[in-house]
Amino acid sequence: MATPGRPQSRMTVTTRSEPAHRRAEPGSRLQFLSGVGPQRALLFERLELTTVDQLLRHYPRTWLDARRFVKIAELDPGRLLTVRGTVKHAALLRTRAGRTDFTVTLNDGTGTLGCYFFGQPFLSRSLKPGVEVVVSGEIDALERRMLNPMHEVLEGDVAELLHVGRLVPVHALTRGLSAKLMRRAMRVALEDTADRVSDPVPLEVAEAQGFGSLGEALRAIHFPESDAERAEARRRLAFEELFLLQTVLEMRRHLVESGGRGRAHPAGGALVARAREALPWALTEDQATALGEIAADLARDSPMHRMLLGDVGSGKTVVAFLAALQVIEAGHQVAFMVPTEILARQHGVTLARLAESVDIPVAVVTGSTSAAERRALQVRLDAGEPMLVAGTHALLEDKVSFPDLGLAIVDEQHRFGVKQRATLAKKGVIPDLLVLTATPIPRSLALALYGDLDVSRLRERPAGRGRLVTRVTGEEKFPQVIDFMAEELAAGHQAYVVLPAIEEGGRPDVRAAEAEFRRLSAQPRLKPYRLELLHGRLKSEEKRAAMEAFASGAASVLVTTTVIEVGIDVPSATLMVVENAERFGLSQLHQLRGRVGRGANRSVCVLVAGPALTANGRARLEVLARTSDGFEIAEEDLRLRGPGEMWGTAQSGLPRLRLADLALDHDLLELAQASARSVLSEDVELRLPEHAPLRAALLAQYAAALEMLLSG
Ligand code: ADP
Ligand code: MG
């Protein structure tokens, strides 16, 4: 239950005078904070708040605007209003349910106002007749009273009110820890320590950004006097979060690079030129630019750390291949890592085809590669033969070793790129790293997650592609969808039908996919065609068979879950039907539709919404019909869903950003990155005394990330 609302004499102390109790230190345990004590400290611990400075970082979730004071006679319903009055009557009421409620009547000279509190009998000890009190709440139109208003006994000036009549902070709480206890503890913590909390943002950086002191910002974030003050404080504290993050990323970059040297792979070789000429088409302008950036990185002896960001079908593979050639031409080995077996096989085929014109060795390592084959490959690698090896991450890391790795290409697995590189770097020479991703990650998020990656982008689709149309429809149109599918199949084209990987109730994909497979197989118009089922629970042999049947054209329809999301390339597939489309993220849908529209024919993506589609949900899906710009879609997704859901940032080592908003704080993020760079450029190990607080904050917040770093 809530704590007794004893009058708090301390609340009358202004921020300027000496507190009447022993001051806590920023590092003190909360039990030593005046008004908390050992019992209540346990409550705070449930929120993982043990020390005073941790408490100060427990920022409000939101603020209620209860600043509008009115007379009782002027109270009108429908908004949060504040009234100052004197208690006239107070009474405890025993309800039939056995609960004791409390009611008071206030008078302010213009009228009387009843306030009713459910089950809070202890209030009778503080809200006694004659006491002056301030309440904030909404008035009930019919009964002209307030139910459970926020309230505070007025003991000093209204300017010192904590719980009412101001921008009232709403902090996350836990059972037994009331909002009032939280705010009182916060006020004491601020009074005692705010000016002595050490600031991880170095003074020169804070000054360059025009920030006020950290103490002011902490005070203003919890108890803002105005909207402007709160916005200012938020900006400073959000900057701090992003600055810490960017500092870690920059340190990581420096550390990885100082762990060994990179290698120079000269550009402009004959092999690359020959392969480029042999391509059946010209590189798009974006591809050529990206290749130029990569080639320049490869040619330098500092290690490359670059991401090639390109929408599905934008042609990343060929760029990566040409980059690989530059390294092979310089006499070194290249590993091409992909997330799944299916992709490993596909890439093996694509890369071998690309390599035909230049006759370089390409090997593929998959689960079905025999031990003897693998040994033979290892012998060649050990002999230092320059070659390109494609395979899954798991296999290339565990089963194959590259004595002379010049370049690691990591496809569709941006999250692991960094760790991969740290592992690879252990051997002294740091291989160049090229991370390919079709996930159109918004710029701000890329910066936040991979601030230490350089980025090349492919924005245009290669020419010669047919139009790709997207339609949003409902489940009731299923017969028309089938008719359309039958027409496409009759024209010799192929179709995907995709279901969400997880059913609504958390049911795994299998049954849904199987049920849909049966439903489609039973359609008379689809009878002439072969359908294949592919989902995550199949054995790897079965998956491969299904995939091959579809890729070869033997099967016309592939019913599947999101296992096909990445990489699959079947140019004669012209129809993508996504069922229960509302359950997918926009970026994911965009990825899926990228599976079609790869050939010269017109392609169609049909997003079939489930029955429970809201107007909002429909508007969301319509974004896809409207635009084909993956980056725009990703920004929209980020705005609608937040970064965590989209990118699994929890696993990425990104700490929870409490105030910073990656969808909104682009400018702040860039400032943070520039600031981090400038601080580290003069003190990369943060040994200077003025950087001690920054160092300490990083160790406290990024211990795990730093440990991974230092252990390589
Ligand atoms: P991504 O990996 O970016 O999704 P891919 O590398 O698989 O895209 O390329 C998709 C298809 O486009 C492939 O069939 C590839 O051969 C083709 N392609 C790549 N670049 C071009 C280009 N410049 N012009 C025409 N077709 C291209
Ligand atoms: Mg690809």
Q: How far is the CA of 6 from the centre of ligand 1 (A)?
A: 72
Which DSSP state fits 177?
B
How does residue 256 score in pLDDT terms, banded at 50, 70 and 90? Answer: low
> Which residue's CA is minimally distant from atom 22 of ligand 1?
462
Report the pLDDT averaged over residues 92-111. 94
Give residue for tokens 């190990």: 685
**Residue 312 Cα: closest atom of ligand 1:** 4
How does residue 113 score in pLDDT terms, banded at 50, 70 and 90? Answer: very high
Report the pLDDT averaged over residues 209-217. 96
Q: Higher pLDDT residue, 313 or 170?
A: 170
d(CA 17, CA 14): 6
Res. 426: pLDDT tops 60: no
Pocket of ligand 1 (CB under 6 A): 281, 283-284, 287, 310, 312-318, 438, 462-464, 569, 598
Classify 712 as helix, strand or coil.
coil
Ligand with minimal distance to 281 CA:
1
Specify the pLDDT at position 19: 55
How does residue 539 score in pLDDT terms, banded at 50, 70 and 90? Answer: confident
> Which residue's CA is minimally distant from atom 9 of ligand 1?
315
Is the Cβ–Cβ distance between 315 and 285 less than 8 Å? Answer: no
Report the pLDDT averaged over residues 281-309. 92
Query: Nearest CA to 630 among 413, 414, 472, 439?
Result: 439
Q: How far is the CA of 234 from the centre of ligand 1 (A)?
A: 44
**Residue 314 Cα: closest atom of ligand 1:** 3
φ, ψ dihedrals at 527, nearest 5°: -50, -40
- Range from 136-140, 301-305, 388-392 carrying the lowest mean pLDDT: 301-305
Q: Could you report the per-residue pLDDT of 615-645, keeping only the tens digit for each? A: 878 888 988 998 887 777 877 776 766 554 4
Specify the pLDDT at position 710: 43
How does residue 693 score in pLDDT terms, banded at 50, 70 and 90? Answer: very high
Q: How far is the CA of 338 from the centre of ligand 2 (A)?
A: 9
Query: Nearest CA to 361 among 406, 324, 398?
Result: 324
How does residue 444 score in pLDDT terms, banded at 50, 70 and 90? Answer: low
Report the pLDDT averaged over residues 211-226. 96
> Which residue's CA is minimally distant from atom 15 of ligand 1?
315
Query: Nearest CA to 633 among 579, 580, 592, 578?
Result: 592
- Range from 325-334, 495-504, 540-549, 552-561 carrying the lowest mean pLDDT: 495-504
Task: Indicate the helix (H) or strand (E) that contains 275.
Answer: helix 270-278
Report the pLDDT averaged over residues 411-420. 55
Cα 532 to chain center, whole Å?
Answer: 34
Specify the pLDDT at position 447: 63
Is the Cβ–Cβ distance between 233 and 217 less than 8 Å? Answer: yes
Note residues around ion ligand 2 (Cβ under 5 angstroms): 317, 567
Q: How far is the CA of 551 from the centre of ligand 1 (A)?
A: 16
Candidate from 356, 569, 601 with most ligand 1 atoms within 8 A of CB, to mutate: 569
Q: How many CA within 13 A on the CB side of residue 509?
A: 20
Q: At what angle do helices 341-355 and 540-551 cross, to 10 degrees?
A: 50
Q: Please name every residue paired with 390 in a beta bridge, in sequence order, or none if there are none.
A: 336, 364
d(CA 509, CA 583): 13
Specify the pLDDT at position 704: 60
Q: How far is the CA of 466 from the centre of ligand 2 (A)?
A: 19
Ligand with minimal distance to 461 CA:
1
Res. 146: pLDDT tops 60: yes
Compute CA distances 104 → 110, 156, 630, whole Å. Answer: 17, 21, 59
Tokens read off for 297:
């990185």
Q: Higher pLDDT residue, 64 or 711?
A: 64
How does residue 433 score in pLDDT terms, banded at 50, 70 and 90? Answer: confident
- Cβ-Cβ contacts under 8 Å for 627 (sequence gap 6 or more): 633
Res. 649: pLDDT tops 70: no
Report the pLDDT averaged over residues 364-372. 88
Q: In the chain, what percentage of residues exceed pLDDT 70?
A: 86
> Which residue's CA is minimally distant from atom 5 of ligand 1?
315
Is the Cβ–Cβ distance between 379 and 358 less than 8 Å? Answer: no
> Which residue's CA is minimally distant from atom 26 of ligand 1?
462
Tokens read off for 482:
């089938």
Specify the pLDDT at position 504: 46
